[in-house]
Structure 1
Amino acid sequence: MEMNLQMFAENTQTTAGLSAEMKTYYGMELLENAKPQLVHNQFAATKGLPAGGGKTVEWRKFGAFDKALKPLTEGVTPDGSGISVSYITKELAQYGDYTTVSDMLDLTAIDDVVLEITDRHGSNMGLTLDTVTRNEIQQGKQVIYAPKIGSDGTKTDVTSRMTLDKDCRMTSELVAKAATQLKKMNAPTFDGKYVCIIHPSVAFDLRQDEAWIAAHQYAGATELFSGEIGELHGVRFVETTEAKIYRGEDLAADSRTLKVNGNVMASTDVTFNGGTVAAGALAGRYVVLGGTRCQVVSNTDAKLVLDKTVTVGDKEVIYPGEGGKQGCAVYGCLFLGKGAYGVVDLSEGTEVIVKPRGSSGTADPLDQRSSVGWKGIHAAAILYDEYMVRVECGSSYSDEDKAN
């Protein structure tokens, strides 16, 4: 017999709930299932929620002292150095989700179906809060673009995301370059090592590198972090499918690309064909045409209005502009030093909410509704931009991976 778990999917506005013991049990289940998803949060400096329930969290940044190179004079107390302190603030935001279930389930006892729903919500919470953190720290200003590697091994420098393709792969040389940049900035380490958060598609390419193969041929891996797959050039690699992928969605309902319909001379207006596009559907999106990346201000079903002028010929292909060359997937690989960014302490701001059947009063006159959900308060911020480097690259899977 199949159960429709959304049979009565209306929000129930009540405050009644379970016993303290049951709340603790389900809460532990939720958090345990959230932890494996919190890859981007595990390397952050954590901060408790503000006292008094304020809506802003604050991190302090301390400046370094100058070298004390002047010799001391006997019997003379020198002037001391002051400490510079700056502050980074971030607005707290609340996130959450829930599932309403039918009266066929009993939430007053530990139920297998309820546990399954709680487990799924735990995973959902972890993924949600991890993505909030990831999207924030992907905005760092230190970026290295992977060079294009030819079939004969020659390298061609790449200077922008939109020109990256699947031949711009992660290599041991890029790893060393990113690690060197962090060392030059005196970025602190995690027990002597830096960390890189990497997508499995990028990890596949890196594992083919001779330096990686040599480094892992005999060494036994000692995993310190969730998802860790190995170490190279003083960098520990943590693999997750939630590592950032930049790739635009299809431009049309029935086509990935569009085509310019008629020559365009130094204009922001571009007529197109080659696909079915609803009016306004592309507003805010990025496109690449004639080697220029533009943002779409507005669109009809046959014309784009861009944020800059372009000169392109008839039948020029218009590609999605959020990813790499011809719209392929680009991967943002984060190389991190300790203390590069901060997040709020998740244990203080998250909770599971289980409301058993019969807890809704007149809002549920036949005692038909129960619900399982979660909510959490979260914020993330870059604290020391110089302690993080984003290597943007393609991979062997750039033509098939989707944005996340």
Structure 2
Amino acid sequence: MSTVSRTTHPELFPLYYEKKLLEYVKANLVATRFGQRRSLPANSGRTIEFYRANPKPINTTPITDQPTPPATALPNLTPIQVTVQEYGDSIDLYEFTDMTSFVPLVDYITDILADQAQRSLDTIAMNELCSGTNVLYAGGVNSRSALVGTQKLTKTDIRKAVNLLQRENIPPFEDGYYVCLIHPDKILDLFTDAELIQLANANMSAFEKGFVGQFAGVKFYVSTTLPIVDNGGTPSVPVYQTLVLGKDAYGIVDLDGTTLKMVQTNVDRLGRVKTLGWKAYFAVKRLYEPAIVRIESN
């Protein structure tokens, strides 16, 4: 009976590793879960266009029996363009090393590359989302330089961010909640141990990667890729960035088998060296500044 192996059927194994990488990255990416998604069709150029619909004005005029009132104009759709960029990395593996190793090196390397791809794309997305202008500073201060080490993130800051979204009529997501992307260090400032236990017990049936719990109409998701910046003072003090988002706040290129790939090549003339890597065609763009509140705190 014949055995299917990497030696007898090498064409099957790149597909397995590509699927493994794609599934890991999509399951663990945080920043890309909550934006408008656009696919990247082949032969369509490097620019993707998103649209932001401007709301129609309130209409308080009653409708009479006759005549039927005329239709009003379609709201303006604001086009927002972003250029898709190419990202990636690779590792060279000697065939003899792979063959004589006590561990499945291709499996291990795939795991390492998948983790790198996930953290890299998440960081790219977080950097874009954290570069907006809608900023709330913790502790009642009015600048980053005034965050001198004692202005910790509080529940009051979260409620203020929700208030800013609601005042701008920013809709929540389909489940009725806004979303907060938060560094795990700030979870410890925001919730006590007892509160975290209560949150965990209240949400045992709703497991999501990175999901902590909900408070004040906001669902919290942790991510270590949120930027930690310097306050610019002397001495310097680290400043954490927390995001509170409404629906359609930003757009992303959807990650699929076309835009995120595991690459396995062998160009060595004796087949002694293979290259394993990942590449992604990716872009993230803020679409509506009032829908993204960035809270800066110590």
TM-score (norm 1): 0.65
Partners of 1:199 and 1:241 within 8 A in 2: yes
Tell whether 2:132 aligns with 1:129.
no
Tell whether 2:273 aligns with 1:369.
yes
Q: Which residue of structure 1 aligns with residue 33 of structure 2?
A: 42
Report the Cα distance in structure 1 between the residues aligned to 2:23 and 2:42, rounded to whole angstroms: 26
> Considering only aligned residues, what root-mean-square deviation do their CA atoms show, in Å?
2.4
Alignment of 1:284-295 (within 5 A): none
Q: Which residue of structure 2 aligns with residue 91 of structure 1?
A: 83
Q: What is the Cα deviation at residue 85 of structure 1?
A: 1.1
Q: What is the Cα deviation at residue 72 of structure 1?
A: 2.7
Partners of 1:162 and 1:325 within 8 A in 2: no
Tell whether 2:14 aligns with 1:55.
no
Question: Which ranges in structure 1 are unaligned for 5 or more consecutive residues?
Answer: 1-16, 148-156, 248-319, 395-404
The counterpart of 1:340, out of the listed 237, 249, 255, is 249
Q: What is the Cα deviation at residue 221 of structure 1?
A: 2.2
Decide whether aligned partners of structure 1 residues 22 and 385 sit closer, same or farther in structure 2, where only a CA change above 3 A counts: same
Report the Cα distance in structure 1 between the residues aligned to 2:277 and 2:201, rounded to whole angstroms: 44
Q: What is the Cα deviation at residue 366 of structure 1?
A: 3.4
**Is the radius of gyration larger for structure 1 or structure 2?**
1
Partners of 1:163 and 1:325 within 8 A in 2: no
Question: Which ranges in structure 2 are unaligned for 5 or more consecutive residues?
Answer: 1-8
AA in 2 matched with 1:58: E
Report the Cα distance in structure 2 between the residues aligned to 1:232 and 1:175, rounded to whole angstroms: 9
Alignment of 1:2-401 (within 5 A): 18-19=10-11, 21-83=12-74, 84-105=76-97, 112-147=104-139, 157-190=140-173, 191-208=175-192, 213=195, 216=198, 220-222=202-204, 223=206, 225-247=208-230, 321=232, 326-347=235-256, 348-355=258-265, 359-360=266-267, 364-394=268-298
Report the Cα distance in structure 2 between the residues aligned to 1:193 and 1:62, rounded to whole angstroms: 21
Question: Which protein, 1 or 2, shows the higher relative CO under an 8 Å CA cutoff with sep ≥ 6?
Answer: 2
TM-score (norm 2): 0.87
Q: Which residue of structure 2 aligns with residue 280 of structure 1?
A: none
Matched residues, number: 283
Decide whether aligned partners of structure 1 residues 392 and 241 sit closer, same or farther in structure 2, where only a CA change above 3 A counts: same
Partners of 2:127 and 2:226 within 8 A in 1: no
Report the Cα distance in structure 2 between the residues aligned to 1:26 and 1:198, rounded to whole angstroms: 31
- Normalized per residue, the structure richer in helix is 2
AA in 2 matched with 1:35: K
Q: What is the Cα deviation at residue 37 of structure 1?
A: 3.8
AA in 2 matched with 1:74: D
Partners of 1:65 and 1:81 within 8 A in 2: no
Report the Cα distance in structure 2 between the residues aligned to 1:391 and 1:65, rounded to whole angstroms: 30
Give 3-state SS (helix, strand or coil) of 1:78's partner. Answer: coil
Once the two structures are aligned, what percentage of the paired residues are identical? Answer: 32
